Amino acid sequence: MKVDNKYFCIICEGEKNIGYHLYHSFICSDCEKAMINTDVSDPSYQYYLKQLKKIYAPKITI
């Protein structure tokens, strides 16, 4: 069975089909690897943190 679902990665904002779901969001395997290999002093780490905050700060809609 071929699974061809595409998900919207919250980090790179691209459509990917390999990765994992975190809460209601999706992180692709490329970004996961990139985050693991990024040092906290690297400026791009701040970018990842900023993108991740979208996951932990869900929009409240009434």
Binding residues vs Zn ion (CB under 5 A): 9, 11-12, 28, 31
Return the number of the residue (25 or 31) whose C-beta is nearest Zn ion.
31
Return the number of the residue (1 or 25) whose C-beta is nearest Zn ion: 25
**Which region, left, alpha or beta, applies to residue 19 given φ > 0 means left and ψ of -120 to 50 means alpha?**
left
Q: Which is nearer to Zn ion, 23 or 60 (CB)?
A: 23
Beta-strand runs (E) in the chain? 7-8, 15-16, 19-22, 25-28
